[in-house]
């Protein structure tokens, strides 16, 4: 298959950029189905900013429902649900697997 330059529009800045035959061949070799959506400039800015728009992970300090020790968990607490420290969680998990 012969590839030719394609002019695409960047979703970030709205500017036109060229999707070269070499880039098209690379995409085909990797099995990528979609063409690039951002120009090189916007793509590099996005990479420097951390890549994704995912919010930072929530870390909550709480008290273990089993032993009473203070612990941190990587999620927001839900009212009415028990929360366990790492040790108590592992014990409960092992007991559930054994029984």
The full length of the chain comes to 99
Cross-strand pairs, 60: 73
Task: Give DSSP secondary structure letters for 74-85.
Answer: SS---TT-----
The single residue listed with the structure tokens 């330059």 is: 5
With cut-offs at 50, 70 and 90, classify the pLDDT of residue 75.
confident
Q: What are phi and psi of 6, to 5 degrees?
A: -120, 135
Structure tokens at 96: 């559930």
% of the chain residues with pLDDT over 90: 69
Model confidence, pTM: 0.47
Beta strands in the chain (DSSP E): 6-9, 16-19, 60-63, 70-73
pLDDT tens for residues 23-34?
999 999 999 999
- Look at residue 56 and tell me whether its pLDDT is greater than 60: yes
């Amino acid at each position: 298959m012969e590839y030719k330059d394609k002019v695409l529009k960047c979703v970030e800045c709205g500017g036109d950029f060229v999707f070269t035959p070499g880039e098209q061949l690379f995409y085909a070799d990797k099995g990528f189905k979609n063409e690039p959506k951002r120009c090189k400039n916007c793509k590099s800015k996005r990479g420097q900013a951390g890549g994704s728009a995912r919010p930072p992970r929530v870390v909550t300090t709480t008290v273990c429902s089993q032993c009473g020790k203070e612990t941190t968990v990587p999620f927001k607490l839900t009212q009415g649900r028990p929360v366990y420290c790492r040790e108590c969680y592992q014990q409960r998990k092992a007991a559930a697997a054994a029984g």
